[in-house]
Structure 1
């Protein structure tokens, strides 16, 4: 499978919205993504196969830290390394921008995602209690540091 990682733009939003709806209990709105695309701190990428968006990832980069906002892969493409490819591209972007650390929150029950992040050097450094609005689930705070 030939996966291309490119910057997200408005033309990707319908596919991204579908993936968000299929991936999250409280999906982001079109307006939320449009605001992110106009946000100077935000960097979003999409994974494409044959012009179809099959995954995306986003983060804010503020000074020398990157905060991952979300990574999602269409259910039809999960388990094929797409999340790895997206996360690796985001780490590469951070390296290019001299970012010294990346962070994220992930559901305490989402072991698959936690394992993906661990594979790339993220470690658990805390918990945000009752972080998720839909079910009050805790979030694990993970960090990857280069310093």
Structure 2
């Protein structure tokens, strides 16, 4: 019997580490593989250097399986990137990445998490909804190809309160 997306778990060990210079070539390759309008190396460097930015690579068997990033502004986390290498998709890596971000955001004192997702990315929307995110509103023409984004939000129950 096949596992549902909700119960599928990637094999262990899966590690999240702060992005380093050595990870950039693989991150850029994954970015180009995943998106029609990928971030440039300069954009990644700017993202990594921001004080409010937290950026991690997801390592599996010594290889970069994906990467995640979020900003923390006061008590709100905004997810900027959740990207899984093609060969690891539909194996639970995206869910683990989201769980990691939510744990980090909560640990850092976030009370709310937001993100944007393409209206065409139904798999990601389903994942986020299954984790408790709700659609807040539609951002028209948000992406370079003029595709709309859905802004989704998740209130966090913070153990630090």
**TM-score, length-scaled by structure 1:** 0.95
CA RMSD of aligned residues (A): 1.0
Is 1:46 the counterpart of 2:57? The answer is: yes
Q: Structure 1 residue 29: deviation in Å?
A: 0.9
- Quote the residue 2:68 is aligned against: 57
Is it true that 1:93 corresponds to 2:113 in the alignment?
no
Q: Does the Cα contact within 8 Å between 1:128 and 1:139 map onto a contact in 2? A: yes
Task: Choose 1 or 2 for highest CA Rg.
Answer: 2
* Residue 153 of structure 2 corresponds to residue 143 of structure 1: yes
List alignment gaps of at least 5 residues for structure 1: none
SS in 2 for 1:27: coil
Q: Please give the per-residue CA displacement for 1:97-147, whole angstroms capped at 9, x wherever unaligned.
A: 11000101101111100011112111001000111112x111111000126
Unaligned runs of 5+ in 2: 1-10
| Rounded Cα–Cα distance in structure 2 between residues aligned with 1:85 and 1:60 | 18
| TM-score relative to the length of structure 2 | 0.87
CA separation in 1, counterparts of 2:96 and 2:153? Answer: 19
